[in-house]
A and B are shown apart, each in its own frame.
Chain A
Amino acid sequence: MINKVVANVEEALDGVQDGMTFMLGGFGLCGIPENSIAELVKKGIKDITCISNNAGVDDFGLGLLLQQKQIKKMISSYVGENDEFERQMLSGELEVDLIPQGSLAERCRAGGAGIPAFFTPAGYGTEVAEGKEIREFNGKPHILESALTADFAIVKAWKGDTAGNLIYKATAKNFNPMMAMAGKITIAEVEELVPAGELDPNEIHTPGIFVQRIFQGDRFEKRIEQRTVRQK
């Protein structure tokens, strides 16, 4: 077994530098690597590119990196919950590449799977298609989308083992499995780290081959963005 365990978040983020590209898992605040985000803020690295479906909220998730103006460019599909993001984007301080959610997911998957590009119908006839090759398949136009990779992919899982195998919980899975595949170095922060052999191989979502560093997070706030309930 190849042991992927690092002692803590500081060791996990060893080597991150200004100007690098990061993938960060999560959908909204669900399944985000919150320990690693806090450490990126603490390190104060600048001019980074973040590939993440959303940009957090003003005071949590990637919003913390935006507040400190550490992000040069965001590649996302939906950023509606973050006023500071909208302000920085409309003022031109922040470069933003908005791409359809399914294309974002598939571009990450392709990046990890050795597929340089693919055709999709999403975005045909819209701004998203500008400058991209268009080809018809079965009488329907498609646009060419390229793969995405990152210097570091940072994902969050529910359980992980010392070999780097990961299991996600419920909808906290979202972008994490594809991003785990697409990092030159993939860091997994988990709620529970167990010895290899304790996870059932039938139930593992991300095989450890995609993960270079794994650690158990100190603290998971797991903030809820829209708390909706019904009456008993």
Chain B
Amino acid sequence: MALDKTGIAKRIAQELQDNTYVNLGIGIPTLVANYIPEGISVEFQSENGILGMGPFPFEGEEDADLINAGKQTITALDGAVYFDSATSFAMIRGQHVQLTVLGAMEVADNGDIANWKIPGRMVKGMGGAMDLVASADNIIVAMMHTNKRGESKLLKQCSLPLTGVGCVKKVVTNLAVLEVMPNGGFKLLERAPGVSVEEIQKATQGSLLVEGEIPEMQLD
């Protein structure tokens, strides 16, 4: 069965490395913070200006001056720090943040990503996404494998305006975990429980590399 958004977040949480700083984008990536594996210490950076982001506040304890990049009210953990936007992006561009998890409308098999604009229809802006994808060592995309019309979002070439080029390292979807290979192609690493390689192949327009047996994701 294909994963829901929570499943995608749980699988991405397994990618978290001990003692790292992580930036989570809006949407599915935000959920990753709920599933940090035991024994792993990570600190979440939100690009509007906080390191050490904690959970949502209890009702009545919301502070209008304390939000995340999705404009949601949050809390700060012990050891947290607030900083201005230039310092925030110094952390990002300077590669002090090791992992970025973000959503996408399209990913190409050469690692290009598009997630900020549909010409003539939707223009919300790139926010911090272009700085993030141009800089982080490790970039994981969290998204559904196909769009609402059932078309693949894993393409040979992005059709929408790009956010960054050759930057995505891994894609976790409702169907699969895929690695973007340095010479191009989506290497299939894992299948969602009960999803066949054929189903993944059918939903992938870009080049899909399948080698040997593909294991199912392990999501307790």
Name A residues whose Cβ lies closer than 8 Å to a Cβ of B.
Answer: 27-31, 53, 76-81, 86, 89-90, 96, 98, 100-106, 108-109, 120-128, 158, 168-178, 205, 222-232
Contact = CB atoms under 8 A, between A and B. Distances in A.
* B contacts with A: majority SS: loop
Given A102-B93, A171-B82, A230-B58, A76 B125 contact: yes
Contacts of B126: 77-78, 98, 100-101, 128
A171 B134 contact: no
Contacts of A98: 123, 125-126
B67 A225 contact: yes
A18 to B, nearest CB: 26
Interface string B11-43: 000000000000000000000000000000000
A4 to B, nearest CB: 21
B164 A126 contact: yes
A96 B124 CA distance: 11
A232 B164 CA distance: 41
Q: Which of B49, B163, B164 has the most CB of A within 10 A?
A: B49
B134 A170 contact: no
Q: Which of A128, A176, A229 has the most CB of B within 10 A?
A: A229
A170 B127 CA distance: 20
B134 A122 contact: yes
B57 interface: yes
Contacts of A100: 126-131
B49 A27 contact: yes
A230 B60 CA distance: 10
A30 B164 CA distance: 28
Q: Which of B68, B82, B125, B164 has the most CB of A within 10 A?
A: B125
